Amino acid sequence: MVSTRLKVGLGALMLLVPLFYIVLVQQLNGRTEVMMSQVEPMFVSQCQQTSSAEALDRDGLLNIAVWNIYKQQKPQWQGVLQQLTAQNELVLLQEARLTHRFANYLQQQHVVMAKGFKWLNVPMGVMNLSWQSAYEACAFQAPEPLIRFAKSTLIAQYRLSNHQSLLVINLHGVNFDWRLDSYRAQWEQIIKKVALHQGPVVLAGDFNTWREGRLRVVEQLTERLKLKEAKYHIDHRHRVFGLPLDHLYYRGLTLLEAESFKTKASDHNPIVAKFTLIN
């Protein structure tokens, strides 16, 4: 028979373990932070601005890539990322893990990152790589309802050669939320920004649309914001239950072509898209 003292001890332990987990996750998530840098990554709270940005496009042409890089866990990630950064003016990454090695690799890029959480003091989140810097960036966090680790959203603005501003939303969607309350709340963070923006918009990332209810949330909100989804002439986007997880939506730009090609460098396949500006 279990003694009363042991029962009390087990009961206390059952109460303390969840409390310890909550405190641990709060420490790992930390405050909402955004980092903008070309050389020395440094996080600040929520928003940052710079006045030194040049036009992101090249003579009216703009190539954009979207890729969940799977925390750089596959050995081929660097070769694929080098290809993407060489061929695109803007690369939107999800599950980027800012290790010392990755920070060294990023020395030649303009970097904007929104931290979701830190693990072993290494920031993880969404990241924009570009050949010209953003002039404004804001970060948002959305904790997962069950595991409490935060997903991040990055909203950045880039100058264009036609004197417009390109609003770019890089989003990694909340995953473990069956009722979709947290999923909708994460999307609500971006609605006001997009609705108020007068220029072109790109909304992309790993939306975790692995069931119809999630996809309906995305479709309803993007329709409300008058965003079009890219159409792919080759479509190898990663699918779960037959539904693609990665997406690219846009408005105020002309899409020339888009595709998603296969790679073994991540558990997701990249999206690449070619746009022209509308004068």
Domain boundaries, the chain: 1-30, 31-277
The pTM score is 0.85
> pLDDT tens, 162-194?
999 999 999 999 887 678 888 898 998 789 899
Q: How confident is the model at residue 39 (pLDDT cuts 50, 70, 90)?
A: very low
> pLDDT tens, 77-124?
999 999 999 999 999 999 999 998 898 889 888 999 999 878 678 899
> Is the pLDDT reported for residue 44 higher than 50?
no
> Is the pLDDT reported for residue 155 higher than 80?
yes
Q: Which of 39-43, 126-130, 260-264 has the lowest mean pLDDT?
A: 39-43
Q: What does pLDDT average to over the chain? A: 85
Q: Write down the pLDDT at residue 83.
A: 97
Q: Write down the pLDDT at residue 19.
A: 40
Residue type, 235: D
3-state helix/strand/coil string of the chain: CCCHHHHHHHHHHHHHHHHHHHHHHHHHHCCCEEEEECCCCCEEECEEECCCCCCCCECCEEEEEEEECHHHCCCCHHHHHHHHHHHCCEEEEEEEECCHHHHHHHHHCEEEEEEEEEECCEEEEEEEEECCCCCEEEEEEEECCCCCCEEEEEEEEEECCCCCEEEEEEEECCCCCCCCHHHHHHHHHHHHHHHHCCCCEEEEEECCCCCHHHHHHHHHHHHHCCCEECCCCEECCCEECCEECEEEEEECEEEEEEEECCCCCCCCCCEEEEEEECC
Contact 183, 105 (CB under 8 A): no
Q: How far is CA 5 from the centre of its chain?
A: 49
Q: Write down the pLDDT at residue 35.
A: 60
> Is the pLDDT reported for residue 51 higher than 80?
no
Q: What's the CATH number for 31-277?
A: 3.60.10.10
What is the C-alpha separation between 174 and 15, in angstroms, rounded?
27
Residues of the chain with pLDDT > 90, as a percent, come to 63
Q: Are strands 253-260 and 234-235 parallel, antiparallel or unpaired?
A: parallel
> Is the pLDDT reported for residue 258 higher than 70?
yes
